[in-house]
């Protein structure tokens, strides 16, 4: 018997850093149980180089990553989505398209590492922190007994995960 594959979309306005890192992380950590995608309402022209660097440092593939418009995932031929996570506050406040499937949604807001002032060293640290927080949240998400939770219980669990912060 083949295990069910859950389609998951990570959304951020620019789709150049946080959502891209989440896509790569879930595709690696979720192996055969999840297929992750990412998109943005106003996608950047390219993936942020420090996101690529952070993913490379973690040994994650980056060749096929690209910034995508979220309309790609609202088309009739798009994969039906099981989960949609917003990872930036701005995207969470926007009116999202109607997604195929009936995805469970949650907000997992993370500060934009590309917007951190103070030069490249501080930005690298911000990217590392954002990556670490995404990795913790995704690991917790993967530990949930998805087949045993009803939609309301699952939404509560995902909201709890979204409130997780890095320790000081």
Residue 168 lies in a domain: no
What is the residue-wise DSSP string for 101-131? S--EEEE-----GGG--S-HHHHHHHHHHHH
Partners of 8 in beta bridges = 36, 83
Helices (H), the chain: 18-29, 49-57, 89-92, 120-143, 151-162
Q: Tell me whether residue 96 is one of the annotated catalytic residues.
A: yes
Residue 26 lies in a domain: yes
- Report the number of distinct structural domains present in the chain: 1
Residue 131 lies in a domain: yes
Residue 29 lies in a domain: yes
The answer for residues whose C-beta is within 8 angstroms of residue 96's C-beta and 6 or more apart is 11, 41, 70, 84
Q: Tell me whether residue 124 is one of the annotated catalytic residues.
A: no
Q: Tell me whether residue 19 is one of the annotated catalytic residues.
A: no
Residue 98: per-residue pLDDT:
76
Out of 96, 128, 144, 149, the active site residue is: 96
Residue 167 lies in a domain: no
For residue 10, give its domain range.
Answer: 6-162
CATH number at residue 102: 3.40.50.2300
Residue 55: per-residue pLDDT:
98
Residue 1: per-residue pLDDT:
44
Per-residue pLDDT of the chain (168 residues; tens, 9 = 90+): 457 899 999 999 999 999 999 999 999 999 889 999 999 999 999 999 999 999 999 999 999 999 999 999 999 899 999 999 999 876 556 677 778 888 999 999 999 999 999 888 999 999 999 999 999 999 999 999 998 999 999 999 999 999 988 665
Residue 1 lies in a domain: no
Out of 17, 88, 133, 158, the active site residue is: 88
Q: How far apart are CA 113 and CA 10, in angstroms?
A: 16
CB-CB contact of 46 with 65 (8 Å): no
Out of 9, 12, 25, 138, the active site residue is: 12
Residue 11 lies in a domain: yes
- What is the DSSP code (8-state) at residue 85? E
Q: How far apart are CA 106 and CA 157, in angstroms?
A: 10
């Amino acid at each position: 018997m083949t295990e069910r594959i859950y389609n998951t979309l990570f959304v951020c306005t620019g789709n150049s850093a946080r959502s891209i890192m989440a896509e790569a992380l879930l595709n690696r950590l979720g192996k055969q149980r999840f297929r992750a995608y990412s998109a943005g309402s106003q996608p950047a022209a390219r993936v942020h180089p420090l996101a690529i660097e952070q993913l490379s440092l973690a040994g994650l593939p980056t060749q096929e990553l690209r910034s995508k418009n979220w309309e790609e995932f609202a088309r009739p031929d798009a994969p039906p989505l099981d989960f949609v996570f917003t990872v930036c506050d701005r995207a969470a406040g926007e009116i999202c398209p109607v997604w195929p499937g009936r995805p469970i949604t949650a907000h997992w807001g993370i500060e934009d590492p590309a917007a951190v002032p103070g030069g490249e060293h501080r930005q690298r640290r911000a990217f590392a922190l954002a990556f670490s927080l995404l990795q913790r949240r995704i690991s917790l998400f993967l530990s949930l007994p998805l087949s045993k939770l009803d939609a309301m219980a699952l939404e509560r669990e995902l909201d709890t995960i979204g409130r997780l912060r890095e320790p000081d």
